[in-house]
Structure 1
Amino acid sequence: MKSYSITEINSILNGELIGNPELIIQRPEQLERATSTDITFIGSTKYISLWKTSKAAAAIVNENFNVEPGEGRALIKVKNADLAMAQILEVFNPGPPELGVDIHPTAVIHETAVIGENCIIGAGCYVGKDVRLGKSVVLYPNVTILDKTSIGDHTVLWSGTVIRERCEVGSHCIIHSNVSIGADGFGYRPCPEGKGLIKIPQIGNVIIGNGVEIGSNSCIDRGKFSSTIIGDGCKIDNLVQIGHNSVLGRSCIMAGSSGLAGSVTLGDGVIIGGSASIKDHTTIHSGAIVGAGSGVMRDVAAGQTVLGYPACDSKDMLKQWVALRNLIKN
């Protein structure tokens, strides 16, 4: 990993350097684990007290915090330490693994597939009939892309990902390991004779916009008809389930282990907390927030925050919890 002087780091951030200007920084690290060659970050007042006992050489802090560097150490004051942290992590980023060759000899690519310029295809990949890869697409080893699927420019698919037939993925997306896109939606009806279940064919696809990131082991099911749609800029965590014919607007966030049943609609900028679950045919309007672990059974208004199981307005749910706690005490 590269090392930088504290003045070089400050020139990147355009902050205010206070304290020792001679420090050499070898890596970023959290406050509790940092050593004498590390830089750390203080983006919340609750971490200020940890600075005195931290062994870090330097810290990036919000400019409105009352913090002193201490002997031999330094601070860089910025407007937003969290955003500055993202810049520094990018500077210290060692980069992705190198596959060595553009197209590995063990990759299987159908003769009808169209491969764009500067694509990298790793060992054991399968690229099916009439697949189209845009420019500078990266497929890490053992990615499967089935027939008539298209992948946009500069999209990266990590190992184990499977994209089923007729799906569309936009440009500048990141699909992490073992993601399933376009598997059959969960559709069954009782058999008329009462002897089992009839599978409902799922003949739609999945359409993913530009700049989408999908975490490991997440699943996005194809539509029963038409499409399951993930809008531009959405960020989906690990172990997320998105049911058939759901539609996400722009820049939605879904945290780990949350799930949408079939035909759920999210507006723009919706945030779904970890382990939350959303009932089928529900609409969560733009800017709404669903708290972690909540169960949404009905539509949520734009900008509203809901919490609990079943979910209701967060203020009402907090009052219920206080009332229950007082009831137990009595």
Structure 2
Amino acid sequence: MVSYSISEINNILKGELIGNTNQKIEGPEEIKKANNQQITFIGSTKYSKLWIDSKACAALVCPKSTIEPGDNKAFIRVNNVDLAMGRILELFSPTTPVFDTDIHPTAVVHESAKIGNGCKIGANCYVGKDVELGKDVILYPNVCVFDETIIGEGTVVWSGTVIRERCVIGSHCIFHINVSIGADGFGYRPSDDGRGLVKIPQIGNVIIGHHVEIGANSCVDRAKFSSTIIGDGCKIDNLVQIAHNSVMGRSCIMAGHSGLAGSVTLGDGVIIGGSASIKDHTTIHSGATVAAGSGVMSDVEAGKTVLGYPAQDARAMLKEWAVIRKLVKNQ
């Protein structure tokens, strides 16, 4: 089992060590559950009161913290507790599943596929015609990559994911289990006789940039024509829907159960809260935030925060809710 002294951890974090402990630290844990061989974190002064009853031998604390660690306990004061805890989680991260062979004998790899050095392809994977995998790509068991798809180096694709034909995936991406990339966009029109629906062919593809992470059971649909695009550094939660011809800029965040309808455009650094929905052909400009559960029906200005259904300026919406509560209370 991996363990570290408090001084070794502080050398990595380059924080300010307060107090000391001779306990070897064997992992991180939340403050209420930690034992005397674990380190925890106090990200805000409002959680300081929990330290009194905590069994943890050490904690990361924010710059405003004024409490003392106590006997045989230690604090490491850091500027950003969340990022520092991320470093600690990396230290104690368990190893990923091991591949006994680079390409499992049950995997089906088309003879025309180009497989880069260091690639790992798990059991029951399918790699189609003219697929290109950059070096060190990992396909865990039961992944399908269809014809003419390109995947950049260092990308990791977890089990159950399907990447349809002609998609382009950047380097160092992570797709979690059961992600769908490049399924048909949702395109139908009423038939001439009004008695049914006509499926509109979706002949485009999906282009995903570098360092993109997509959570389990999320879907990115192919474009009707041209491409659905996800920019570099975007982070997408579980159960997210991104419809055909949508375009996301760099470093956007989409929380769980949120969705973009067709042809939505997001600028750089847009944040979409959980269960928020964005109407088709809407533009949300760079730096804007859509609060959880909101419904965006029109364009959102750069840097603005919107809230509600339909979404509007967050401050105006909060004032409106306050007035409504007051009216109800006075009835």
Shift of 1:84: 0.7
**Residue 10 of structure 1 aligns with which residue?**
10
Q: How does 1:1-330 map to 2 (within 5 A)?
A: 1-330=1-330
Q: Percent identity?
A: 71
2-structure distance, mates of 1:45, 1:76: 14
> Which deviations, in whole Å up to 9, do the C-alpha atoms of 1:80-126 show, x marking residues without a partner?
11111011110111121112111100000001000000000000000
> Which deviations, in whole Å up to 9, do the C-alpha atoms of 1:271-328 show, x marking residues without a partner?
0000000000000000000000000000000000000000000000000110111111
Contact 2:23 2:36 in 1 (8 A): no
Shift of 1:46: 2.1
Give 3-state SS (helix, strand or coil) of 1:211's partner.
Answer: coil
Which amino acid is the alignment partner of residue 269 of structure 1? Answer: G
Contact 1:107 1:125 in 2 (8 A): yes
2-structure distance, mates of 1:260, 1:232: 18
Give 3-state SS (helix, strand or coil) of 1:52's partner.
Answer: helix
Contact 1:132 1:148 in 2 (8 A): yes
**Cα RMSD between the aligned structures?**
0.8
1-structure distance, mates of 2:194, 2:285: 39
1-structure distance, mates of 2:29, 2:59: 10
After TM superposition, the structure 1 stretch with the greater mean CA deviation from structure 2, 286-295 or 47-56, is 47-56
2-structure distance, mates of 1:98, 1:211: 23
> Which deviations, in whole Å up to 9, do the C-alpha atoms of 1:229-273 show, x marking residues without a partner?
000000000000000000000000000000000000000000000
1-structure distance, mates of 2:96, 2:46: 34
Give 3-state SS (helix, strand or coil) of 1:87's partner.
Answer: helix
After TM superposition, the structure 1 stretch with the greater mean CA deviation from structure 2, 21-30 or 158-167, is 21-30
Which amino acid is the alignment partner of residue 142 of structure 1? Answer: N
After TM superposition, the structure 1 stretch with the greater mean CA deviation from structure 2, 285-294 or 58-67, is 58-67
Shift of 1:64: 2.5
Structure 1: 5+ residue runs without aligned partners?
A: none
1-structure distance, mates of 2:123, 2:34: 38
Give 3-state SS (helix, strand or coil) of 2:105's partner.
Answer: coil
Which amino acid is the alignment partner of residue 254 of structure 2? Answer: M
After TM superposition, the structure 1 stretch with the greater mean CA deviation from structure 2, 7-16 or 210-219, is 7-16
After TM superposition, the structure 1 stretch with the greater mean CA deviation from structure 2, 90-99 or 17-26, is 17-26
Contact 1:201 1:224 in 2 (8 A): yes
> Which deviations, in whole Å up to 9, do the C-alpha atoms of 1:44-99 show, x marking residues without a partner?
12211111111111101112311210122111111111111011110111121112
> Which deviations, in whole Å up to 9, do the C-alpha atoms of 1:11-40 show, x marking residues without a partner?
111112122242211110011111111100
Shift of 1:43: 1.2
1-structure distance, mates of 2:46, 2:112: 58
1-structure distance, mates of 2:51, 2:228: 47
Give 3-state SS (helix, strand or coil) of 2:91's partner.
Answer: helix
2-structure distance, mates of 1:144, 1:115: 15
After TM superposition, the structure 1 stretch with the greater mean CA deviation from structure 2, 238-247 or 54-63, is 54-63
Give 3-state SS (helix, strand or coil) of 1:59's partner.
Answer: strand
2-structure distance, mates of 1:59, 1:96: 27
2-structure distance, mates of 1:243, 1:104: 34
Contact 2:242 2:260 in 1 (8 A): yes
Contact 1:7 1:21 in 2 (8 A): no
Structure 2: 5+ residue runs without aligned partners?
A: none
Q: Which portions of structure 1, spanning 4 or more consecutive aligned residues, are displaced by more than 2 angstroms?
A: none
Shift of 1:197: 0.3
Shift of 1:206: 0.2
1-structure distance, mates of 2:148, 2:172: 20
2-structure distance, mates of 1:48, 1:184: 51
2-structure distance, mates of 1:251, 1:95: 27
TM-score by length of 1: 0.99
1-structure distance, mates of 2:113, 2:69: 58
1-structure distance, mates of 2:114, 2:222: 23
1-structure distance, mates of 2:91, 2:287: 32
1-structure distance, mates of 2:95, 2:81: 23
Which amino acid is the alignment partner of residue 283 of structure 2? Answer: T
Give 3-state SS (helix, strand or coil) of 1:223's partner.
Answer: coil
2-structure distance, mates of 1:110, 1:188: 34
Give 3-state SS (helix, strand or coil) of 2:41's partner.
Answer: strand
Give 3-state SS (helix, strand or coil) of 1:17's partner.
Answer: strand
